[in-house]
Structure 1
């Protein structure tokens, strides 16, 4: 592994199971990576997509201060993606989907002509040759069920910008008793170790 981008999105801070799994992974990777960029999107949120931000992302000469800041943030987030070989995303399930904070990040990095382009055959992602590991934690058990709308969404949006080498690591049943939760976390750590060996 060389350059790693880590995205955390849990609103639970020190109580977050997804953050804890990511921290466990990074500790075991110590000395094996060239550089790690870590973003906690809950502690340091990026701008939410609104009309001003959407117009800023299209470019233009007469941008307000707010728009210039949003465009600069988008450029920075995209550069972090471009220089990274591996992207690790902590995506806890909130109400059957990803946290708002993570959705805001996707809204700033999905930019026509920069991370994807439109062609006669449809959109083509421009981010290539990167590995993505998504750590998703849930209170219940949703893997493979209709209630898991998080995995299809992330698969689609990541593929949209060219990130199609994606592995999902599940921490499920975390609110279903200590025994199930503990086994699930142990299994998730084991899977992470295998993926990063």
Structure 2
């Protein structure tokens, strides 16, 4: 990631409703991911962004499904606000993931500022892998039970939120969002 990602995201935020606050949440997450080498964490980072944006008064959707890139199709989670994709993690794949491009803000490729080439919510012939199926079928409380102690979405989200001026407590987040399940995109014909 370079500074131009933040600059492009900030420019893209200007015409959006409450764009400045949206950018602040996204930038806090982007900086956290970069500073903590939080790669390959799409399910965690999207859940954190969803909770932060919800606490800010936005009406985001927490989404999971498959994404098509030039390198192939992969399971992934992201956030949508007013039909636009907000996806920090796609620019930071894990060790077993392929680099598919930069992070996405308001459906824009942050390297170019143009619409992302990634296709969110597609369906491959095989559908979601077992991890993707678990993520899609679990609420956030069930999902967090599989995370390492002290590194759950409930632990990390208050730290990220504090960076953009959103005060949250772990217990409150669990109570408010623990029963939330992700919107499953592009898998309607899955059995």
Normalising to structure 1: TM-score of the pair? 0.26
Which one has a bigger Cα radius of gyration? 1
